[in-house]
Amino acid sequence: MCLAIPLKVIDIPSEGMAQVETDGVTIEVSSILTPDIKKGEYVLVHAGFIIEKLATKEANSRLELFKEIYERKN
């Protein structure tokens, strides 16, 4: 029920709306819950609305603990 998917904002056609894209599929969704989104940002979409902006991958994608764990040899 609380399914949500990450998508990229490719256009802001009008206030409160955003064109989002993944793998070449684009849809128009409401951005009323995230009024400050910008073109190029990644967002989480649930039932036709952006519910949150995503942190940039480089900055904040994993907990440091797990980065360290996966860097170990074994």
Partner 1 sequence: MNFSKKSMKEKIKVIKNLISTEIQKQNISNINLMEVCGTHTMAIAKYAIKSMLPTNINIISGPGCPVCVTAATDIEMGIELASRSETIIATFGDMIKVPGRKKTLSEFGNVKIIYSPLDALALAQNTPNKEIVLLGIGFETTTPLIAATMLQAQKSALNNFSVLSMNKTVPAALEVILSSSDCKINGLLLPGHVSAVTGRNYFDFLSKFNAAGVISGFGPLEIMESIYLLVKMFSERKKEVINNHPQFVTEEGNQTAMKILFSVFEDADVDWRGIGIIPHSGLAIRKEFAQYDAKKKFKLHTTRIENPPHCLCGNILMGKARPNDCKLFGKACTPANPIGPCMVSSEGTCAAYYKYYL
As a whole number of Å, the CA-based R_g of the chain is 15
- Going residue by residue from 22 to 51, which x/- string records binding to partner 1, judged by CB under 8 A? --------x-xxxx--------x-xxxx-x
H-run or E-run covering 28: strand 25-30
Contact pick of 11, 21, 39, 69 for partner 1 (by CB under 8 A): 69
DSSP state string for 54-67? PPPHHHHSS-HHHH
Q: Is 7 in the site for partner 1 (CB under 8 A)?
A: no
d(CA 10, CA 68): 34
Q: What is the binding site for partner 1 (CB under 8 A)?
A: 1-4, 6, 30, 32-35, 44, 46-49, 51-52, 54-55, 57, 60-63, 66-72, 74
